[in-house]
Amino acid sequence: MTVAQPEARPGEEVVLRDLEWTDLAHLAELEQQLFVDDAWTEATWWSELAGRPRRDYVVATAPDGTIVGYAGLDVAGDVADVMTIATDPSHQGRGTGRVLLAELVRRATLRGVASVLLEVRADNDAARRLYDRAGFEVISVRRRYYQPGDVDALVMRLLVAKGDT
Ligand SMILES: CC(C)(COP(=O)(O)OP(=O)(O)OC[C@H]1O[C@@H](n2cnc3c(N)ncnc32)[C@H](O)[C@@H]1OP(=O)(O)O)[C@@H](O)C(=O)NCCC(=O)NCCS
What DSSP string runs through 92-120? TTSSHHHHHHHHHHHHHHHTT-SEEEEEE
Write the pLDDT tens digit of every residue in 32-90. 999 988 899 999 999 999 999 999 999 999 999 999 999 999 999 999 999 999 999 99
Write the pLDDT tens digit of every residue in 75-100. 999 999 999 999 999 999 999 999 99
What is the residue type of 143? R
Give 90 Cα–ligand 1 centroid separation in angstroms.
Answer: 12
Smallest CA separation from ligand 1 atom 28, residue? 93
Residue extents of the structural domains in the chain: 2-159
Give 161 Cα–ligand 1 centroid separation in angstroms.
Answer: 25
Q: What percentage of the chain exceeds 90 in pLDDT?
A: 85
Closest atom of ligand 1 to CA, residue 127: 1
- Report which of residues 11 and 152 the model is more confident about: 152
CATH topology of domain 2-159: Aminopeptidase (3.40.630)
Cβ-contact 63, 24 below 8 angstroms: no
